A = this chain, B = another copy of it.
Amino acid sequence: MHRFISICLGLFLVITLRPATAQRTPATYRSVEIMPDRTVIFRIKAPQAQHVQVNGTWPTSLGRSVKLELKDTLFEGKVGPLPADAYEYEFIVDGLPTLDPHSNLVTRDGPWIQNFLLVPGPESTVYDAQDVPHGTVTSIWYQAKSLDLTRRMHVYLPPGYDQGTTKYPVMYLLHGGGGDEEGWLDRGRANYILDNLIAAGKAVPMVVVITNGNPLHSAAPLSRSLSRQVTITPGIASMASGKFEESLINEVIPFVEANFRVYRDAAHRALTGFSMGGYQTQNITNRYPDTFQYIGVMSMGLFSSALRGSGEYVKDEHVRQLKALQAAKPKLYWIGMGKDDFLYQSGVKLRELYDEIGFKYTYRENEGHHDWTSWRLYLAEFAPLLFK
């Protein structure tokens, strides 16, 4: 028994004190404490720091950057009460972004790596990995000849897919500039949102396809060749090139419809994306009006496909495309925008144009920013509207 205990102790030490992480010590304090009123106390031990703050994606009115005060040996501060929701946060210690050393909840969207926080409550359970039937998520590679790449996509298959013989509708989910095909899963929690909505009977079972929207990249950073990359590439320019949009139509959709048990008509296809993915969503649906009957534009405004490449913005051409789209009678054209989004005004302009030409849409405005706290909400509200 002594040997058992000593080996356990050894393993515990190696777990808390690895050679490469000499400063990792067992938690002697709670770094995140959610109080009964949903005020959240943040703490971090930073013995030599002068200035510590916590930044998070909670509502602006609560202070998105909160200074922590030194109390005994810990920097501590409180935020809230917070709405029951999911948030990203990080500590800034003397100017350097620092993950919470005592949380293992870390997510990534493109180059942004932050801690994750779920403030429990009725409004946030849709983001939790609840004890409901879970769909599968498969990472699968497909040929994109137009981009000269073998590329990676994620495919969510709803609970029961493997047991049944029914066909499913498909939602295509696009990420923002600088992101990749992991963001909607890792940070966006798309699979859990779908699991929860389907289990509650709020959304119909559907397949969800998450692609990489940067046509220069085969996959997320760790899934493409590592020997060349150590720095961050935002990828904005390449995402706006229009090449991904063509590849989605000509390569992604045919691959999905050949390899999964799905319907193959516009009435069973949805397309949505945020930010640069909202731009791509507009590009695709404006140019291919007969492909999707359900369309969601998140956190993106007037940024017309007619602008692509070297062209000036030609309003007439944009209107012509929109009229063709209107003629295709999409069952849903949904726009989500946060009141504090830096693209808010472009959204106003888009809606003004749509109103001017009588193009129908459903508009959802939330108290929110250009971030995942908005995009998770949009997905949770958009998915229930599909295929009904």
Residues of chain A at the chain B interface (Cβ within 8 Å): 1, 3-4, 7-8, 10-16, 18-24, 27, 30-34, 44, 46-51, 55-57, 60, 64-65, 88-90, 92-99, 101-108, 110-114, 116-118, 120, 125, 127-131, 133-134, 136-141, 150, 152, 162, 177-178, 186, 189, 192, 219, 221-227, 229-232, 234, 236-237, 240, 259, 275-276, 303, 307, 310-313, 342-343, 346, 369-371
Q: How far is the CB of A207 from chain B (nearest CB, A)?
A: 14
Chain B residue with minimal CB distance to A53?
A: B22
Cα separation A50 to B49 with both chains bound (whole Å): 10
User: In the complex, which of the residues A97, A221, A222, A229 has the most CB atoms of chain B within 10 Å of its own CB atom?
Assistant: A222
Whether the Cβ atoms of B93 and A96 lie closer than 8 Å is yes
Q: How far is the CB of A87 from chain B (nearest CB, A)?
A: 8
Whether the Cβ atoms of A178 and B15 lie closer than 8 Å is yes
> Residue A342 contacts which of B14, B22, B342 (CB distance < 8 angstroms)?
B14
Whether the Cβ atoms of B342 and A240 lie closer than 8 Å is no
Q: How far is the CB of A231 from chain B (nearest CB, A)?
A: 5
> Residue A230 contacts which of B60, B88, B103, B139 (CB distance < 8 angstroms)?
B103
Whether the Cβ atoms of B141 and A16 lie closer than 8 Å is no
Cα separation A249 to B76 with both chains bound (whole Å): 47
- Contact A112:B21 (CB < 8 A) given known A129-B223, A230-B30: yes
Cα separation A3 to B110 with both chains bound (whole Å): 25
Cβ-closest 7 pairs across A and B: A48-B94, A120-B227, A118-B226, A104-B111, A138-B138, A134-B141, A137-B139
What are 19 contact pairs spanning A and B, CB under 8 A? A3-B307, A4-B307, A11-B275, A14-B342, A19-B370, A20-B56, A21-B90, A23-B97, A24-B111, A27-B231, A48-B94, A94-B94, A98-B98, A104-B111, A128-B226, A129-B222, A136-B139, A186-B222, A189-B222
Q: What number of copies of this chain does the assembly contain?
A: 2
Whether the Cβ atoms of A137 and B138 lie closer than 8 Å is yes
Whether the Cβ atoms of B219 and A129 lie closer than 8 Å is yes
Cα separation A92 to B114 with both chains bound (whole Å): 17
- Contact A114:B152 (CB < 8 A) given known A138-B136, A227-B128, A232-B102: no
> Residue A47 contacts which of B48, B95, B222 (CB distance < 8 angstroms)?
B95
- Contact A116:B237 (CB < 8 A) given known A30-B231, A95-B48: no
Chain B residue with minimal CB distance to A13?
A: B342
Whether the Cβ atoms of B99 and A21 lie closer than 8 Å is no
Q: How far is the CB of A338 from chain B (nearest CB, A)?
A: 11
Whether the Cβ atoms of A21 and B97 lie closer than 8 Å is yes
Q: How far is the CB of A78 from chain B (nearest CB, A)?
A: 15
Q: How far is the CB of A234 from chain B (nearest CB, A)?
A: 5
Cα separation A48 to B51 with both chains bound (whole Å): 10
Whether the Cβ atoms of A108 and B118 lie closer than 8 Å is no
User: In the complex, which of the residues A10, A232, A307 has the most CB atoms of chain B within 10 Å of its own CB atom?
Assistant: A232
Cα separation A22 to B377 with both chains bound (whole Å): 23
- Contact A342:B20 (CB < 8 A) given known A104-B111, A105-B222: no
> Residue A129 contacts which of B3, B15, B225 (CB distance < 8 angstroms)?
B225
Chain B residues with Cβ below 8 Å from A118 are 226-227
Q: How far is the CB of A379 from chain B (nearest CB, A)?
A: 16
Chain B residues with Cβ below 8 Å from A3 are 303, 307, 313
